[in-house]
Structure 1
Amino acid sequence: LRESPRQHVGGHTTALGYRRKFPTEFATYFKFAVVRDPVSRFLSAWRYLRKMPIHPALNNSKIHERDTLAEWMETVRADPNLLDDIVHFLPQRRFVCDSEGRVLVDHLFRFESITSQWKTICGILNQPFRPLPRVNESAPMTIIDAPPDWMHGWITEFYADDYRVGGYPILRDSASSARR
């Protein structure tokens, strides 16, 4: 993610980007981010970008050049820098941490339990609870959909810092990832 001090803030802005743009508010407001299990997030991003038409804002043309997830993974393993140009695949730590790895937001919530944690967020913000709408929802991954061990291992290693930042345990096989 290449940010400049002049960049506008929007959908996929980092905490550092918000701090640069709104320093006073950043210092005083409650800030939170939602993180997701890295393997689940990677697979969801791939499915999402595959179903979307090729679009420059998504930078998803290279994904459409591969017929399968395995082919995409072989391409990424050969050149992991490809992931730097697709915001949906950027490590989550790049959104919530500074260059020293310090979390810049006040609280990290987990996507996997966002419904129950949303009540906490509403309470912190002194807002009435209203259920979150479900958008861009995909079917849950099953054991049949689980990535093979080599793929699971590569994703786990590539996003190791995301496991640390999000407090996720690293599961070593794809079957246990699919059960989450």
Structure 2
Amino acid sequence: MIYPNPQIYPHLKTIFVHVPKTAGTSIEKRLRENNGVVVGGHTTAEGFRKKYPGVFDDYYKFAVVRHPLSRFVSAFFYLLDRPINLNLRNKIVHECATLDTFISCVEQKPDVISQIVHLFPQHTFICDAQDRVLVNDVYKFENLPEEWLRICQTIGLPHEPLDILNPSSAGQLEIANKSRLVDLVTSLYRKDFELFGFNSKG
């Protein structure tokens, strides 16, 4: 999967693989060079490797991952907060309207997550078909202030705290049966839990 103007930063010799709902827009803002070029989208590591093989081999590559449970909830509310958009494929989210209803929908039609980029499993952005991680480092959203400092030190970028961009309105999670949500997310994102060391209990 390759987007126009992907996250390649020649001035830092860095590639950023933007997994949706992991503070990627905030990171893009900090990595951006002041030349008027705006990058974006969710190009996969495999997409970078195939389209830009020389740059991919030479540059430092990193991604940020998030606990699948909080990412799923954040993605739902992000998609609900925005008008129905063909690119976002969020019509079904608006039709469900509540997280409980959406959980029921995905339980009945698990392939829904393969149709909405913000719900794709995180390993599909970072790994190849054999589940081998293709980036140099994978950082955790849950420890982002400390992780961001390490990223800046690694790529030689002066450290400034990240702004919070594109937040969802999730707020305090209210759900009729949280165990259903946990069971669903654990099933759908099993490889993410295994590959990135997340606790399936939330």
Q: TM-score, normalised by structure 1?
A: 0.86
- Over 3 Å counting, the alpha-carbon distance change for 1:140 and 1:55 in structure 2 is closer
CA contact (8 A) 1:36 1:166 kept: no
Shift of the alpha carbon at 1:67?
2.7
1:159 to 180, 189, 194: 189
Q: Tell me, in whole angstroms, the C-alpha distance in 2 between the residues paired with 1:67 and 1:130.
A: 37
Structure 1 residue ranges (4+ consecutive) displaced by more than 6 angstroms after TM superposition = none
Aligned to 2:118: 88
Q: TM-score, normalised by structure 2?
A: 0.77
Q: How big is the alpha-carbon RMSD for the aligned residues of Structure 1 and Structure 2?
A: 1.9
Q: Tell me, in whole angstroms, the C-alpha distance in 1 between the residues paired with 2:192 and 2:179.
A: 19
Aligned to 1:11: 41
Q: Tell me, in whole angstroms, the C-alpha distance in 2 between the residues paired with 1:152 and 1:73.
A: 10
Q: Which runs of 5+ in 1 are unaligned?
A: 172-176
Partner SS state of residue 60, structure 2: coil
Give yes or no for the alignment of 1:117 onto 2:147: yes
Q: Tell me, in whole angstroms, the C-alpha distance in 1 between the residues paired with 2:185 and 2:88.
A: 20
Shift of the alpha carbon at 1:20?
1.0
Q: Tell me, in whole angstroms, the C-alpha distance in 1 between the residues paired with 2:169 and 2:94.
A: 20
- Over 3 Å counting, the alpha-carbon distance change for 1:27 and 1:146 in structure 2 is farther
- Over 3 Å counting, the alpha-carbon distance change for 1:108 and 1:146 in structure 2 is farther
CA contact (8 A) 2:75 2:168 kept: no
